[in-house]
Amino acid sequence: MQYGDYRKYQEITNHFETNSIGQQIFYFDKLDSTNNYSKRIAAEGAADGTVVIAGSQGSGRGRLGKEWHSPYDNGIYMSIILKPELLPVNIQIITLAASVAVAEAILKVTGIKTGIKWPNDILVSDKKLCGILTEMVSENGMTGFLVVGIGINVSEGRYVIPAELIDKATYIQADRFTLVKEVLFEMDLIYKKILAGSYNDIIDKCKEYSVTIGREVRIISEMEEFPCTAVDITYDGMLVVVCPDGTRRSIMSGEVSVRGMMGYV
């Protein structure tokens, strides 16, 4: 652990009044994955809102078993432990909430208006800037705890995108400490709404930032794959699509991948 950075991140809590998010922050120079570490400490009793940040990750994970490129000093790698009393069916709102928190924070810190690709990607000019991996551990049919992992490609200087990602990924230039602080601040506001059962504002914001609604997309799951048009997001976070035969379907995020017909978006 780098003591200087640890102090810096811990100071976040002194700068604003959060109810729960970021009351406790753990910083490490390197972890295998902030999600893995968070799951471990959440099971051992870490409090709701605890945040784990790493300078780099040896085995950063993305959705659907993909790797998350996590070089030192070139990104924000952080996980937030949440212990809400929510039914597992309502969990997908959390990923959308985190997407909105990141989009709002980036807008405030850099002035850049990003787009949310349902359910978990933040894009700039149709390239991926941030991914969110929400993992749930349930107990007796209820949500035991959640770990919301956030990876943002951000650098204070030069950023080298690996050749294989050059068509799909991008980054922003910003001060990482300021951006982390803002994401946690936004997440705290949004989390309060979730705990109060008030999801509508979050979904409205999500629609405002959405780059998925109105697009021709392909829904890809283990069971099926089909083309359709994304038309809406429901107030419980599902993507509404219209199939070529005119039927409307509501898609849960789970194991589904949404691909643009012409490319990534």
- List residues near ligand BTN by CB under 6 A: 33-35, 57, 60-63, 66, 68, 77-79, 120-121, 131-133, 149-151
- Which is nearer to ligand BTN, 106 or 132 (by Cβ)? 132
Beta partners for 32? none
Minimum CB separation of residue 62 from ligand BTN in Å reads 3
- Which is nearer to ligand BTN, 95 or 143 (by Cβ)? 95
- Which is nearer to ligand BTN, 58 or 204 (by Cβ)? 58
| Closest by Cα among 216, 231, 235, 206 to 119 | 206
Minimum CB separation of residue 52 from ligand BTN in Å reads 9
Minimum CB separation of residue 246 from ligand BTN in Å reads 32
Angstrom CA distances, 248 to 9, 241, 254, stand at: 46, 6, 19
Beta partners for 227? 218
- Which is nearer to ligand BTN, 170 or 229 (by Cβ)? 170
Burial class (CB in 10 A: 0-12, 13-18, 19+), 171: buried
Minimum CB separation of residue 217 from ligand BTN in Å reads 16
Q: Is 217 helix (H, G, I), strand (E, B) or coil?
A: strand
Pairing of strands 127-139, 142-152: antiparallel
- Which is nearer to ligand BTN, 51 or 202 (by Cβ)? 51
- Which is nearer to ligand BTN, 133 or 202 (by Cβ)? 133
Minimum CB separation of residue 39 from ligand BTN in Å reads 10
Distance, CA of 202 to chain centre: 14
Pairing of strands 115-117, 121-124: antiparallel
Angstrom CA distances, 67 to 11, 33, 59, 141, 147, stand at: 31, 10, 7, 29, 17
Minimum CB separation of residue 100 from ligand BTN in Å reads 16
Which residue minimizes CB distance to ligand BTN? 131
